[in-house]
Amino acid sequence: MASRKIRFESVAEAQRLARRRLPQSVYQALVAGSERGITIEDNVNAFSELGFRPRIADLPRSRQQATRILGQDVAFPVLVSPTAVQAVSPEGEVAVARAAFGADTMIGLSSFASKPIEEVVAANPKTFFQLYWVGGRDRIAKRVERARKAGAVALAVTLDWTFASRRDWGTPPVPERLDVRTLAKYLPEGIRRPRWVLDYARHGGLPDLVVPNLGVPGEPDPTFYNAYGEWLTTPLPSWDDIAWLREEWGGEFLVKGIMHPDDAMRAVDIGATAISVSNHGGNNLDGTPASIRVLPAVVDAVGDRIEVLQDGGIRRGSDVVKALALGARAVLIGRAYLWGLAAGGEGGVANVLSILHSGIDETLLGLGRSSVNELTRDDLLIPEGFSRGLAHRPC
């Protein structure tokens, strides 16, 4: 499908367009956080507490943003984070992969994605595959082997999830199936957002709610509901399990969901390539601080022994620069590109990535830095108590 010809100047504008276009239930799923939403709000608001120390003369005529992460060269330090079933657009993750390919950056594909990994890798060879610990080791090993054969360049395991899916404002859960009763329930929302429904109609109908990347050979692809049930009943992994998974994969390996320096050290100990400082976008344990607040303590704990990513609350290129100045190698974005996808399909995602790229360049210029690799904490004004006592305590 050709991308809708729509342009916007900020991620905030993409969000407004997404809200106008999506059915209420779909939009609410994008903005929801656990319980009161304390963490999701702090993820965004914490960036505003950080200031800059700008320069005004002898500024660099050109700025470099290229970096290397998970064994891949990328044009700028923004990666597309894996997110579950992307029902905001019929093309879903494939459209996102094409946009990321055009921007020369990586995309993470969720094991709960709506499109199979083979299609996504074909659209962007710089795809890493994200796993939850679902099922026993034998079933997980089969999914790992499929990702390897498909050409995934890295494997990520997400650990920041405690099945706390309650929302104080009542965001509707994913339905078990799209039967007549369910369709009748959500029909009024579809009537109010006909363009979204028509887009799906042109692509064969509404999403079928299966998760093709959690299937194993010889079995039909599970529905989202059934896959979630298998995940819910799977014993939680130990660090020994994660070490086994890293060995089973044998390549670039990311541990996603780090919010404690001690866990960052454990990831180093098992030989992980990278960690993502993340609180699952505010969808895990509400009251957890913003991931940007924890980032300095994690960086101090692990030094240069592992690549550190930051995930959560990125809305501007200046936010990216703040994370890099605090020690991140790159950042991951989630809601920002989903709003772009909802607003303008593949072109909307490309629009968001372009906004962030330009914002990084403008901020580097203002700071007098010629490269993202030159950024340090001296470029920031960090208020006392910003990290809220989260310093690493050596054993």
pLDDT tens digits, 21-46: 998 878 888 888 888 889 999 999 99
pLDDT of residue 232: 87
Per the document, the length of the chain is 395
Decide if 65 contacts 372 (C-beta within 8 A).
yes
- Tokens 């993202």 belong to 372
280 is catalytic: yes
Percent of the residues in the chain that have a pLDDT greater than 70, as a whole number: 89
Q: Which residues are CB-neighbours of 39 under 8 A, at least 6 positions away?
A: 33, 279, 282, 284, 285, 286, 287, 288, 289, 290
DSSP 73: E
Angle at 94 between CA 92 and CA 97, to 5 degrees: 115
**Residues with Cβ < 8 Å from 6, sequence gap 6 or more?**
17, 343, 344, 347, 348, 351
> What is the domain partition of the chain in residue ranges?
11-381
Is the pLDDT assigned to residue 344 strictly greater than 70? yes
- For the stretch 198-218, pLDDT in tens is 777 777 766 677 899 998 888
pTM comes to 0.92
- Of 126, 49, 26, 27, the residue nearest 380 (C-alpha): 49
Q: How far apart are CA 203 and CA 386, in angstroms?
A: 48
Selected catalytic residue, list 203, 260, 280, 392: 280
Q: Which amino acid is at 185?
A: K
What pLDDT was estimated at residue 82? 96
Q: Looking at the domain that runs over 11-381, which CATH code has it been given?
A: 3.20.20.70
Predicted local distance difference test score (pLDDT) of residue 2? 41
Residue 325's pLDDT is what?
98
Mean pLDDT for 323-340 is 97
For 216: left if phi > 0, alpha if psi spans -120 to 50, otherwise beta; the answer is beta
Give which of 158, 92, 78, 166 is closest to 123, Cα–Cα: 92
Place of tokens 């920002």: 336
pLDDT category of residue 167 using cuts at 50, 70 and 90: low
207 phi and psi angles, rounded to 5 deg: -60, 145
Q: Which of residues 286 and 180 earns the better pLDDT score?
A: 286
pLDDT at 126 over 50: yes
What single DSSP character describes residue 378?
Answer: G
- Between the two ends of the chain, the Cα-to-Cα distance in Å is 55
Residue 97: the pLDDT is: 98
* d(C-alpha 90, C-alpha 4), whole Å: 13
pLDDT recorded at residue 1 = 39
Q: Which of 357, 337, 281 is nearest to 95 (CA)?
A: 337
